[in-house]
Amino acid sequence: MSEPAAGSWTARLRVTVSDPSLAEWLERALRPEAAREVPRTRATVGRGPDGSVEVSVSALDSGALRAAMNTYLGWIHLALSTAETARAAGGVRA
């Protein structure tokens, strides 16, 4: 599916972090997921005007939107938790 139909459900997540390199890293981590074909949904990942990371999701129905948003929220949480754990351990900086 290339594009949900007009009148579809849409939502946008904005993640603001204090470190621009972390925002760049998060965007690169999420971008391949947005490129995947997922039934009834379409997602884009980009940078907001304030340097934040934005995820926009369009879906044909509320169930598909809920599933996609929960999935992206999980990936964002996992990525940021991983970066924080690595920094706390003195590991690689994101």
Domains plus CATH for the chain?
Answer: 9-88 (3.30.310.50)
C-alpha angle 51-52-56 in degrees, rounded to nearest 5: 130
Q: Which residues lie across from 59 on neighbouring strands?
A: 9, 41
> What is the tens place of the pLDDT at every residue in 23-34?
999 999 999 999
| pLDDT of 86 over the 90 cut | no
| pLDDT of 76 over the 80 cut | yes
Residue type, 18: S
Q: Return the exposure string of 1-31: e unless at least 16 CB atoms fall within 10 Å of the residue's CB, then b.
A: eeebeeebbeeebebebeeeebbebbbebbe
Max Cα–Cα distance, the chain, nearest Å:
48
pTM, full prediction:
0.83
